[in-house]
Amino acid sequence: MAEANTGDRMEKIVSLCKRRGFIFQSSEIYGGINGFWDYGPLGTELKRNIRDYWWHTMTRQREDVAGLDATIIMHPQIWKASGHVDTFSDPMVDCKTCKGRFRADQTAEIPCPQKPSKMVSACHGEKTAPRAFNLMFQTCVGPVQDDSAIAYLRPETAQAIFAQFKNILETSRQKVPFGIAQVGKAFRNEVTPRNFTFRSREFEQMELEFFIRPDEAVEAIAGHLASAADIGQCQTALGNDQTDWGWEAWHKYWVEERIRFYESIGLPRQTLVEYWQKPEELAHYARATVDILYKFPFSKRDAQGELMGEELEGIAARSDFDLSQHQRSSGKSMTVFDEELKAAWPKLEPAKQAELKERYYQNRLQYLSKTGEAPDKAEKLAREDAEALTKGYYLPHVIEPSAGADRLALALICNAYSEDQAPDEKGKLETRVVLRFHPRIAPIKVAVFPLLKNKPELVKKAREVRDLLRPWMNVFYDEAGAIGRRYRRQDEIGTPFGVTIDFDTLGEKGPELKDTVTLRDRDTMQQERVKISELLPLLLGRIR
């Protein structure tokens, strides 16, 4: 299986996507529009399978996650509170002399590329005035288009979860720790869309905000925090006792959980990179972030020549930053009342009480100071928060696994794409293009063929089999051309199974083969003989 060079491979994938109806450029007949992509018939099925399986795994299969489907346009204040209005717009300066681009606030710290002894702000290059690059799409709500009407298309789905946190808490009968999941479109006016659909301006996110107790509350209730060794066992812990899990345990748990998800739809661990962001790379609100990267063909290589991977998902431990921000910005309380905490607190030693209270106070004070509260006010608020903790009230912390649906679709296509050698009818080796999708996410699950089209009995029987399977899975029926050609067409779009109705099915070779069909496996091209009556349960077992 000779691998073409990576550029080649990516080109073949892009071309296959268009040729077979996975992905088209948006608005193509008008010349296209940069950073926007449409999914064709097969791509739509693929993406729907991804979304559905994510939803299935993250919410319906769990006791502790509830769903949300919020609007794309929300109150603009949300994006002030979240920090997107300010931090999503970096004024940039271009240097016409050296062609460099620099953040306007950093020109005094970055050396000039042409004359490194001087900083950019002091070099002789001819520079443009600072220009704002706000990555949020703006629109106006209502007929009057003035500043008061400005609204934004959401740049992430997460903020709606925080904004609706209290409503969901009160209506879902969930208690911390629990999560809120959402799948939906998000929009970023990327400077440079790149790498096929990888960096698009309109994309779909699959996000979970998993709310947990602050460590101080965990310690008050459980008496201790799960140790490093306990954390090492997280991967099998669903259903186990989690009362002593602090944020590190939950964070690690979700990293493992998410990697298992990727494995379960056919991305082997060696195609993924688990990247723990270094302290200096962390966003200001994050205590830890793990990126799950997939080794795309267009990924850069490290010094050893290994693909470094591109981000599919980020799993951030965001402390109580987001709920705090919305609490301050909206003036509405975002705290929860925790009966277990209230009951546990009076039973603690006074020294322990003091220690936990002090730690909570320090954390709140640090947050409030960082966000610019006046020192005396910050101190007062932090005292109040610490006092509330002793009564069972706190702001939940959050672990955020946030994945890109389109990026995952692209990763699955890249991962599935393969070329192998298969003999044609004369035994000559031919190149076969196969998308080795995991059956769970394959757009079409099974293709049904009559061996020959010109035999009405075969066609009739094949249509019966098609109709038998159709209510249960996506079936494709094809009677055109030679049987081998039909198999190959299905291989190219990743259909895992092929069912062929032949003369044995009609009973020509005797009663023992009557009403049996051949079931052909895409990857091995092996066939097995299966009774029609057993076909449905067999296939259902293999595609779930």
Give the C-alpha distances (Å, rounded to integers) separating 117 from 74, 103, 107, 120, 164.
47, 19, 13, 10, 52
Report the residue number, 313 or 385, with the smaller CB distance to RNA. 313
Structure tokens at 395: 């702001």
Q: Is 254 helix (H, G, I), strand (E, B) or coil?
A: helix
Burial of 425 (0-12, 13-18, 19+ CB in 10 A): exposed
Beta 202-212 vs 272-276: how paired, if at all? Answer: unpaired
Report the residue number, 25 or 353, with the smaller CB distance to RNA. 25
- Biggest alpha carbon distance in the chain? 92
Q: Which residues of 75-216 form beta strands (DSSP E)?
A: 89-94, 101-103, 131-134, 138-140, 150-152, 178-187, 202-212
Tell me if 8 sits within 8 A of 2, measured CB to CB: no
Tell me if 91 sits within 8 A of 103, measured CB to CB: yes
Report the residue number, 9 or 520, with the smaller CB distance to RNA. 520
Report the residue number, 99 or 380, with the smaller CB distance to RNA. 99
Question: How far is residue 412's CA from residue 424's CA, in Å, rounded to a whole number?
Answer: 28
Q: Measured from the CB of residue 133, what is the shortest distance to RNA in angstroms? A: 7
Helix (H) or strand (E) holding 168: helix 165-172
Q: Measured from the CB of residue 516, what is the shortest distance to RNA in angstroms? A: 9
Tell me if 341 sits within 8 A of 221, measured CB to CB: yes
Tell me if 246 sits within 8 A of 215, measured CB to CB: yes
Give the C-alpha distances (Å, rounded to integers) separating 489 from 20, 74, 253, 432, 444.
10, 45, 41, 10, 12
Q: Helix axis angle, 532-543 relative to 456-469, nearest 10°?
A: 40
Q: Measured from the CB of residue 61, what is the shortest distance to RNA in angstroms? A: 21
CB atoms within 10 A of CB 183: 22
Q: Measured from the CB of residue 87, what is the shortest distance to RNA in angstroms? A: 8
Give the C-alpha distances (Å, rounded to integers) separating 133 from 44, 194, 195, 408, 533.
32, 17, 21, 27, 62
Q: Measured from the CB of residue 124, what is the shortest distance to RNA in angstroms? A: 17
Q: Measured from the CB of residue 484, what is the shortest distance to RNA in angstroms? A: 2
Q: Measured from the CB of residue 38, what is the shortest distance to RNA in angstroms? A: 12
Question: How far is residue 120's CA from residue 113's CA, in Å, rounded to a whole number?
Answer: 8
Report the residue number, 338 or 502, with the smaller CB distance to RNA. 502
Q: Measured from the CB of residue 376, what is the shortest distance to RNA in angstroms? A: 33
Q: Measured from the CB of residue 19, what is the shortest distance to RNA in angstroms? A: 4
Q: Measured from the CB of residue 47, what is the shortest distance to RNA in angstroms? A: 13
Report the residue number, 236 or 454, with the smaller CB distance to RNA. 454
Report the residue number, 39 or 394, with the smaller CB distance to RNA. 39
Report the residue number, 246 or 297, with the smaller CB distance to RNA. 297
Q: Measured from the CB of residue 130, what is the shortest distance to RNA in angstroms? A: 12
Scored b (16 or more CB within 10 A) or e, 454-473 reads: eeeebbebbeebbebbeeeb
Q: Is 208 helix (H, G, I), strand (E, B) or coil?
A: strand
Report the residue number, 17 or 323, with the smaller CB distance to RNA. 17
SS3 content of the chain, % helix, strand, coil (to 5): 40, 25, 35
Report the residue number, 148 or 526, with the smaller CB distance to RNA. 526
Report the residue number, 96 or 224, with the smaller CB distance to RNA. 96
